[in-house]
Amino acid sequence: MRRGRTTIQDVAQQAGVSVATVSKVINARYGVAAATAAKVQAVIEELGYESSLVARSLRSHRTGVIGILVAELEPFTAELLKGAGRAVEGSGYELMVYAAGGPGIERVGWERRNLSRLGGTLIDGAILVAPTVVTPDDTIPLVAVDPHRGRSGLPMVNSDNRAGGRAATEHLLALGHRRIGFLAGRPDLESAEQREAGYRDALAAHGIPVDPALIEVGGYEQERAERAARALLTLPDRPTAVFAANDRSAIETLEIARTLGISVPGELSVVGFDNIPESVMCHPPLTTVDQFIQHMGFDAVELLLRMLAGKTPEQTHLTRPTTLVVRQSSGTAPGRRAPRPAKVAAARSRTTATVARAARA
């Protein structure tokens, strides 16, 4: 046995041919005698040789690999990957997920950095998840999922965040809440901005002025979100409900409420956004806005695949609808004695069923 990996050199030597010939056999190029090809093939099998993706891509600039670039491997990303995974099946492409290394290090610009590191070589196209800035790089086809604010011109997949934000807030209003706090997300993301717009829409529609004291920025970061939630819940005249811009923040709000001895949904209603699996497993299960993350992952890959095939897709901006999923973290506003309306209960089972179906789709 040799040390290190088996290289094309080893195969060539063992087969008694040149490296070039082996390469031709591997890539099924013309100009190789059947007998030679067979012999080389046999040696390849024997040695268990597999050509190095790295060396190959450095040279040929075509790898059959799609990159998914994310800042962090957290629930949202994980859901997205499930959808992406299904979309590549049978496409001939493989998936490479590159995680920038946690939430810590220099969020801004990670996608450009990693794109430079991988693009042009290694991956034929990439999906950028919640990118901070994107200099439309013309090296390889790109698709953005849940992108930052402002037109980037990049093909993208997102959801109707504004309608989702509105639905969440309307739900709380329907339950009699009037002081509804908003736990804002990453200010640079269009989605976060739109969810806030939806929140404002709903309040405006009901003639309720927005109270700036009830808006805190959580930024989708654990500590910051916790601080923001605590600020909201320790207000002299605290809100009776909080709409958080994503499920993680909402779950953190649930946590803070628990430490403060505030019962949910008795004294406080909480609504999130995303419908990550964790939103079902927390206590109480979270009312949230489903944005069908798996579908987004699926769509993004499909779009990219089409671009890689050279077809210019007619639709380069895919926006998915969202659905409110009512669970146990939201209830009638304190002081109101309206019983939980029957239609809410009905909505609950329906939407939950939807989720289950989406998970398998």
Partner DNA sequence: GTGAAAGCGCTAACAT
Partner DNA sequence: ATGTTAGCGCTTTCAC
Token pair belonging to 167: 């639905």
- The neighbour count for residue 208, using CB atoms within 10 Å, is 16
- Footprint of a copy of itself (CB under 8 A): 3-6, 48-55, 57-58, 72-75, 77-79, 81-82, 84-86, 88-90, 93-104, 112-113, 116-122, 135, 138-139, 251, 277-278, 280-283, 352-353, 355-356, 359-360
CB of 329 to a copy of itself, least distance (A): 13
CB of 147 to a copy of itself, least distance (A): 19
Identified binder of DNA from the candidate list 85, 109, 120, 334, rule CB under 7 A: 120
CB of 289 to DNA, least distance (A): 43
Token pair belonging to 243: 């709409």
119 Cα distance to chain centroid: 20
CB of 68 to a copy of itself, least distance (A): 8
Helices (H) and strands (E) in the chain, counts: 13, 12
Q: Does 342 bind DNA (CB under 7 A)?
A: no
Question: What is the edge-to-edge ordering of all strands in the sheet holding 323-325?
Answer: 215-217, 180-184, 241-244, 269-274, 287-290, 323-325
Which does residue 195 bind out of a copy of itself, DNA, none, counting CB within 5 to 8 angstroms by kind? none
Which does residue 18 bind out of a copy of itself, DNA, none, counting CB within 5 to 8 angstroms by kind? DNA
Q: Indicate the residue among 101 and 187 with the shorter CB distance to a copy of itself.
A: 101
Burial zone of 338 (CB within 10 Å; 0-12 exposed, 13-18 middle, 19+ buried): exposed
Q: Indicate the residue among 54 and 338 with the shorter CB distance to a copy of itself.
A: 54
Q: Indicate the residue among 102 and 187 with the shorter CB distance to a copy of itself.
A: 102
Identified binder of DNA from the candidate list 42, 55, 281, 309, rule CB under 7 A: 55
Sequence-separated (6 or more) residues with CB below 8 Å from residue 284: 254, 264, 265, 327, 328, 329
Binding mask 4-43 for DNA (x = CB under 7 A): xx-xxx------xxxxxxxxx-xx-xxxxx-xxx------
Among 232, 225, 233, 182, residue whose Cα is nearest residue 203: 182
User: 187 — phi, psi (to 5°)?
Assistant: -60, -25
What DSSP assignment string belongs to 293-333? HHHHHHHHHHHHHHHHTT---S--EEEE--EEE--SS--PP
CB of 313 to a copy of itself, least distance (A): 22
CB of 1 to DNA, least distance (A): 15
Give the residues lining the site for DNA (CB under 7 A).
4-5, 7-9, 16-24, 26-27, 29-33, 35-37, 51-52, 55-56, 58-60, 62, 120-121
